[in-house]
A and B are shown apart, each in its own frame.
Chain A
Amino acid sequence: MAEDVTMKTTPLFISQSYLTTESNKTGSWRFLRPRYAEKTAPCSAACPAGEDIGRVEMLTAQGLFKEGWETILRENPFPAVCGRVCFHPCERVCNRGEFDEAIAIHNLERFLADTASRYELKPELEVLASKKQKIAVVGAGPSGLAAAHFLTRLGYKCEVYEAASEPGGVLRWGIPSYRLPVKVLRNEIELIKSVGFSIECGRRLSKNFLREAGERYDAVFLGCGYAKIPQMKIPGEDLPVVADGLSFLESISRGENLQVKGLVAIIGGGNTAIDVARSVLRVGGKPVLIYRRRREDMPAFDDEIAMALEEGVDLRELRTVTRIERSGSEYLLTLQQVEVAYLGADGRACVEPVPHKTETLRVEKVFKAIGLQALQDWYNPPDEDSGSLRLANSVLIHANGGPAVVYGGDLTNDVKSVVHAVASGKEAAIALDVFFKEGLEAIPVRMSQCVVGMGPSLSMEIYVKGPRCQRSSHIVLYEEINADYFQLSPRIVEPRLLREERIQSFAEIDLKISANLAIKEAERCFNCGLCNQCDNCRLFCPDLAVKKDSESHGRHIDYDYCKGCGICVVECPRNAMALQEEN
């Protein structure tokens, strides 16, 4: 030992190797195999138009606003409209809602569309090779425009007929401009048309059109919507004081300078009734909304009801109007009080009158806004089933060798919403494409191949075999998100006009958000099931078995060295990977 401690060099004997460890391959003992497996975000499956929301927010967070906007347009040509008026079922199922608050998806959709409009961007959307078939679209409402837009992109020639002086349907004449400014709608319709179809306005078609259509067209899409309010069948209904709510909204939309004074009764509980009530408030009246069931049974969207009450609309639930009569310069409404008898299968109340409980209401004007109907009977799909195919949001009829006829829009949809109308237009376009190529029988199978998640929402991008078709239909659960990677941060507060400002005019209530706020909000998105190139899988791999490359994922797993430990899958914040057993 003595010689060791007096030596000049430091005793230093360590294991050190210059040999490569690349010869040490995993071999056969891995029993689990990680892989990149993008999945379906719950929001995109809940969106009737199947918008690729997780990806839209990812692009927005990266400042790629044009790409984000185009990603919406691939599935829904109406982002400026839907960003404003959609009831956003996507936000209700947002996984972030279980963590803190759902992403403000509709605000971001509107932001992207407004930004595109502000910079006059032109979308780069693929239009497929032109086909020989020609399609007539009847009605330039949201369903008709969506059908024409998607059919044109699939390569078909479309001609759109519109009875009114301007396209837009309910968007133009039904939805007041405080929710959807006319300028925004016109701009969006111009973009929708720019894929290559024309609209003939002021052309009301007769029932004969369907009979003769076969001579000029291979198919017809009918998206005529509601335009008529039926009779309530009560005494006094025909008095001049009783007006049609839809016509009232249309007059305002045309720009007529209406004045209403005093108490105004609005009968109904749908979105039209709410729109009428809020419009009455803006032209000087005091609206009283009379609804025969409870507030929670109203078909109008919750947000709309809440805004109406906030603005000062007086809601009288569980009342039916039994009589309208003149009383001096005013009119007297007799209201029968009703009560809940039982709850129907849909959870809504069924009511019955409470004996001897009536009250009267003195009003200056009455608007009916109940049980909307199609203007003409032939707009509705026929009842018989022969040669017909009932789809989620449309009905396709092909009988007697004539042209295929697809009925869509509000007249075939269970939920009467803009986004459901868009969904029916898209569904019709895909159905007709399959019909022309493979026949009626092939439609259900082909449809099932392009659903988002479990359906019924369809994806045009999946249908045309875009990159989205590589994702699995599994809808990501909140438990599958690695929430450790996210910090609590509140949802943006939607900037709005003050209540006092709102009721002064028809100015848009919801205000713009800045790009900075939009990016911050988009960054909150979990991007459920989607890879955003965070690189965690590569950084955490203990075997350096995740390699960067120029492929679509940006990286791949080198299974020669992967031990199947699963760390990459666990550390993927967004559940864009999966672990499967080796065969």
Chain B
Amino acid sequence: MDDVDPTPTRVYPCPTVSEIEGAMKKVLEGSHGVAEAVRLAKVKVISAYPITPQTHIVERLSDFCADGSLPARFLRVESEHSALAALIGAASAGVRTFTATSSQGLALMHELLHWASGARLPIVMAEVNRALAPGWNIWTDQTDSLAQRDTGWMQLYCETGQEVLDTTLQAFWLAEAVNLPVMVILDAFFLSHTYEPVDIPAQEDADRFLPAYQPRFMLDTANPCAFGQLAPPNIYMEMRYSIQQAMDMVLNRFGEMEEQFVDVFGRCYGAVEPVQCEDAEIILVTSGTITSTCRQLLQELRAKGERAGLLKVKLFRPFPTEAIRQSLGKAQKVAVVDRNCSFGAGGIFAQEIRAALCNLSDGPQVYSYVAGLGGRDVTTDLLDEIYRQTKKQDCCPVESIWMGLREVSYAT
């Protein structure tokens, strides 16, 4: 991957509160931010099956379809598997499509996740991170989406309500640019059910950023064809390589997309966002809403004279290796906070970051922390504890360190 064109060096600032207040904004639930973006994207077919904490998204969309503010076909189905199957059909017919799901629902879609990317259909999905059962848990946890990291879908992790809305709009741009599907990922409740002041773009602006969809291929009854036939060994590998190439291309097109987004809306987020990483000795790596908590901690640490930094990872697939190397390469230690776990291996972001940094000469040590599973709060105190442990320990353990575990007794 060394010769891959690096992600853009330009780093865009996160919008400040005053910038948001200056815009035409509304207090909006995160779920409804997704729905507004789907409306602005003029999606033609939506299909979804309800599951907490995603349901508010499609409820609002079905309202839009019913009241005519979104002239789309809303297909009711009996399962998430069918929801995605329906969209694969619709997207093959050359229209913009959207679905939303969470946890068990995403797991049920697994087979078709591969199909959607293999068929090169630019489907956009809102994925609300929720823990997998059993035991039943509806709270936030990233294991559901990260378990699908090899399905050929782009993955974008969001931090704020505004970012959720903006990223959903951006997702259509990216998906259609490279013909691959996108998951816009948001934390259960912390984002999906939290109200924040959000700028809802005007339709003209949305149209300027995201023009009408021009499919590169589609079913046409006048010129009938079939998709997805047998691909024997002499051709299958080239098809897979073409997916890999398209994913690699995203790293370039992401910067191009954000430039256009800035031109229209004056804000953007970056594939990764380094905060005070230039001179940092220890950098905390986060994704999702833990990032916001960490921003606060960072201010406190800096005020105490600590040389701490923060790296927010937004784009997880394709993995922005080069940007991560640039942001983390000079630090002594990196502490990755994972609200997920690959059992038997540990925190998933940490694994990927270790892999990205392992061939650097004199790269930082990467500490892996698992925290906040199943929606448990990750507070500034907990993040501070992670920072302290990282600073104190000279020998970096291979395995993940589980933070905040309680003493429990259970039958064996």
Chain A interface (Cβ < 8 Å from any Cβ of B): 1-2, 4-6, 10-18, 21
- Measured in the bound complex, the distance between the Cα atoms of B177 and A5 in whole Å is 13
For residue B239, CB closer than 8 A to chain A, the reply is yes
For residue B314, CB closer than 8 A to chain A, the reply is no
Q: Which of B36-44, B182-190, B218-226 contacts A (4 or more CB under 8 A)?
A: B218-226
Residue of B nearest to A5 (CB): B248
Interface centre among A1, A2, A6, A11, by most B CB within 10 Å? A11
- A10 lies within 8 A of B177 (CB): yes
Q: Which of B81-89, B126-134, B228-236, B382-390 contacts A (4 or more CB under 8 A)?
A: B228-236
Which of A2, A12, A14, A21 contacts B5 (CB under 8 A)? Answer: A2
For residue B19, CB closer than 8 A to chain A, the reply is no
Q: A1-B245, A10-B179, A15-B239 are in contact. List 18 more A-B contacts (CB 8 A).
A: A1-B248, A2-B5, A4-B245, A5-B249, A5-B251, A6-B252, A10-B178, A10-B216, A10-B246, A10-B249, A12-B179, A13-B239, A14-B217, A15-B229, A16-B217, A16-B225, A16-B227, A16-B229
Chain A residues lying within 8 Å of B238, measured Cβ to Cβ, are 13
- B179 lies within 8 A of A1 (CB): no
Chain A residues lying within 8 Å of B293, measured Cβ to Cβ, are none
- Measured in the bound complex, the distance between the Cα atoms of B253 and A5 in whole Å is 10
- B227 lies within 8 A of A14 (CB): yes
Chain A residues lying within 8 Å of B241, measured Cβ to Cβ, are 11, 13
- Measured in the bound complex, the distance between the Cα atoms of B10 and A23 in whole Å is 56
Determine how close the nearest CB of chain B comes to the CB of A468; give it in whole angstroms. 38
- A18 lies within 8 A of B251 (CB): no
- The digit string for B5-17, where 1 denotes a CB below 8 A from any CB of A, is 1000000000000
- A21 lies within 8 A of B226 (CB): yes
- The digit string for B234-265, where 1 denotes a CB below 8 A from any CB of A, is 01001101100110110110000000000000
Residue of A nearest to B228 (CB): A15
Residue of B nearest to A19 (CB): B226
Chain A residues lying within 8 Å of B179, measured Cβ to Cβ, are 10, 12
Chain A residues lying within 8 Å of B223, measured Cβ to Cβ, are 18
Chain A residues lying within 8 Å of B242, measured Cβ to Cβ, are 11-14
Q: How many residues belonging to B are interface residues under a CB distance threshold of 8 Å? A: 31
- Measured in the bound complex, the distance between the Cα atoms of B249 and A2 in whole Å is 10
Determine how close the nearest CB of chain A comes to the CB of B104; give it in whole angstroms. 25
Inter-chain residue pair count (beta carbon < 8 A): 68
- A1 lies within 8 A of B229 (CB): no
Chain A residues lying within 8 Å of B119, measured Cβ to Cβ, are 14
- Measured in the bound complex, the distance between the Cα atoms of B226 and A15 in whole Å is 8
Chain A residues lying within 8 Å of B226, measured Cβ to Cβ, are 16-17, 21
Which of B3, B216, B217, B230 contacts A2 (CB under 8 A)? Answer: B3
Chain A residues lying within 8 Å of B231, measured Cβ to Cβ, are 15
The 4 closest A-B pairs by CB, nearest first: A13-B242, A11-B245, A5-B248, A11-B242
- Measured in the bound complex, the distance between the Cα atoms of B252 and A11 in whole Å is 14
- Measured in the bound complex, the distance between the Cα atoms of B5 and A4 in whole Å is 10
| 12 interchain pairs, CB-CB under 8 A | A1-B245, A4-B249, A5-B245, A6-B5, A6-B252, A10-B177, A12-B242, A14-B227, A14-B228, A16-B226, A18-B224, A21-B226
- A12 lies within 8 A of B227 (CB): no
- Measured in the bound complex, the distance between the Cα atoms of B242 and A14 in whole Å is 9
Contacts A4-B248, A5-B249, A5-B252 hold; do A17 and B225 have CB atoms under 8 A apart? yes
Determine how close the nearest CB of chain A comes to the CB of B409; give it in whole angstroms. 48
Contacts A15-B231, A16-B225 hold; do A2 and B4 have CB atoms under 8 A apart? yes
For residue B339, CB closer than 8 A to chain A, the reply is no
Residue of A nearest to B118 (CB): A14
For residue B120, CB closer than 8 A to chain A, the reply is yes
Determine how close the nearest CB of chain A comes to the CB of B155; give it in whole angstroms. 19
- B252 lies within 8 A of A14 (CB): no
- The digit string for B294-325, where 1 denotes a CB below 8 A from any CB of A, is 00000000000000000000000000000000
Interface residues of B in 369-389 (CB under 8 A from A): none
- Measured in the bound complex, the distance between the Cα atoms of B228 and A15 in whole Å is 5
- B252 lies within 8 A of A15 (CB): no
Residue of A nearest to B239 (CB): A13
- Measured in the bound complex, the distance between the Cα atoms of B217 and A12 in whole Å is 10
Chain A residues lying within 8 Å of B216, measured Cβ to Cβ, are 10, 12
- B4 lies within 8 A of A14 (CB): no
Interface centre among B228, B245, B252, by most A CB within 10 Å? B245
Determine how close the nearest CB of chain A comes to the CB of B176; give it in whole angstroms. 9
Determine how close the nearest CB of chain A comes to the CB of B115; give it in whole angstroms. 12
- B4 lies within 8 A of A1 (CB): yes
Interface residues of B in 156-179 (CB under 8 A from A): 177-179
Chain A residues lying within 8 Å of B230, measured Cβ to Cβ, are 15
- A11 lies within 8 A of B249 (CB): yes
Chain B residues lying within 8 Å of A15, measured Cβ to Cβ, are 227-231, 235, 239
Residue of A nearest to B245 (CB): A11
- Measured in the bound complex, the distance between the Cα atoms of B244 and A324 in whole Å is 108
- Measured in the bound complex, the distance between the Cα atoms of B395 and A206 in whole Å is 125
Determine how close the nearest CB of chain A comes to the CB of B379; give it in whole angstroms. 41
- Measured in the bound complex, the distance between the Cα atoms of B228 and A21 in whole Å is 13
Interface centre among B223, B249, B252, by most A CB within 10 Å? B249
Determine how close the nearest CB of chain B comes to the CB of A484; give it in whole angstroms. 12
- Measured in the bound complex, the distance between the Cα atoms of B231 and A14 in whole Å is 9
- Measured in the bound complex, the distance between the Cα atoms of B224 and A18 in whole Å is 6
Chain B residues lying within 8 Å of A13, measured Cβ to Cβ, are 238-239, 241-242
- Measured in the bound complex, the distance between the Cα atoms of B252 and A1 in whole Å is 14
Chain B residues lying within 8 Å of A11, measured Cβ to Cβ, are 178, 241-242, 245-246, 249
Determine how close the nearest CB of chain B comes to the CB of A293; give it in whole angstroms. 57
- Measured in the bound complex, the distance between the Cα atoms of B239 and A264 in whole Å is 97
Chain A residues lying within 8 Å of B252, measured Cβ to Cβ, are 5-6
Chain B residues lying within 8 Å of A21, measured Cβ to Cβ, are 226
Residue of B nearest to A13 (CB): B242
- Measured in the bound complex, the distance between the Cα atoms of B196 and A66 in whole Å is 66
- A5 lies within 8 A of B5 (CB): yes
Residue of A nearest to B238 (CB): A13
